[in-house]
Copies of this chain bind each other. A is one copy, B any other.
Amino acid sequence: MADAPLYGRVAIIGLGLIGSSIARAARRAGGAGTLVAYDQSAFVRARVAELGLADVVADSAAEAAEGADLVIVCTPVGVSGAVAAEIGPRLKVGAVLSDVGSVKGAVVRDMAPHVPAHAVFIPAHPIAGTEDSGPDAGFAELFQGRWTILTPLSRADDAEVERLKAFWTAMGANVDAMSVEHHDLVFAIVSHVPHLIAYNIVGTAADLEEVTQQEVIKYSASGFRDFTRIAASDPTMWRDIFLNNRDAVLEILGRFTEDLQALQRAIRWGEGDALFNLFTRTRAIRRSIVEQGQDTAAPDFGRRPPAKTDAPQ
């Protein structure tokens, strides 16, 4: 493209699903002059070089951050503080530091103290992903039509917030801003607690004595399999999310359990109307999600029946 890139030098720390998708999408969008990558795993660094995801594969996070105009930390949130401690002193004057963590309060708590006054910290959270992990799982279209949320810490950063917003928009995302606290509550309900109950129901099923694991697998098309997709997400990432968004998750879990106990009571006492009314209300929300392009309108997510094969035993 004829225009100059939004950032001359962009460093990505952590090349998993999200980091490697940013590398691919930023390159395609022309958002970075030079792309620098670092991952703490030597295996991932080698793979990034093989795949040609970056112009430079650095030997340390500090080296990657050195001289960068934009540094995006894409590690599990549990180590974001340690990464910030390492790169903070190396950030150049005017550098922008950002991240992609699914919780923002703990990330700000852990990273902000290491950001020097001459740099700007703008936390971010792209609402996109799949159940797969690692540099091979990423793809340039991951952020297309999805939301990325920025949680700026000060109005003084407005100009840099606009530039970061343009960077995400160039990668196909819609961009919103909100406060750190509100973010963590919103994502407790739309993401964290749903993941927790998906992990939980899969665990409950695996532990039943009267129903074999083979039966659970064979008959999973009746609802269960949808939960197993979510419950196949990266264990380290999700452990860190729950440990780092504790208060909001416990708050939402409390409400979830209270509501579930009311449903349980309705079933025990045969209160069909209470069930019917809830089940009707929830349909409307699905309709809005499809109408607003946040999910496919195709029944069953457009999954096609498998080819006919011999029945597995």
On A, residues with C-beta under 8 Å from B are 102, 127-132, 137, 141-142, 144-147, 149, 172, 174, 176, 182, 185-187, 189-208, 210-211, 213, 215-233, 235-236, 238-240, 242-243, 246, 249-250, 252-253, 255-257, 259-261, 263-264, 267-268, 270, 272, 275-276, 278-283, 285-289, 292-296, 299-309, 311-312
Q: Chain B residues with Cβ under 8 A from A193's Cβ?
A: 201
Interface of A is mostly: helix
Asked if residues A221 and B137 are in contact (CB atoms below 8 Å), the reply is no
- State the CA gap A133–B62 with chains docked (Å): 57
Asked if residues B283 and A232 are in contact (CB atoms below 8 Å), the reply is yes
Asked if residues A293 and B272 are in contact (CB atoms below 8 Å), the reply is no
A294 with B217, Cβ < 8 A, contacts A232-B286, A305-B145 known = yes
Q: Chain B residues with Cβ under 8 A from A281's Cβ?
A: 203, 206
Find A201's partner among B199, B203, B243, B256 (CB 8 Å cutoff). Answer: B256
Asked if residues B263 and A246 are in contact (CB atoms below 8 Å), the reply is no
Q: Chain B residues with Cβ under 8 A from A226's Cβ?
A: 194, 226-227, 229-230
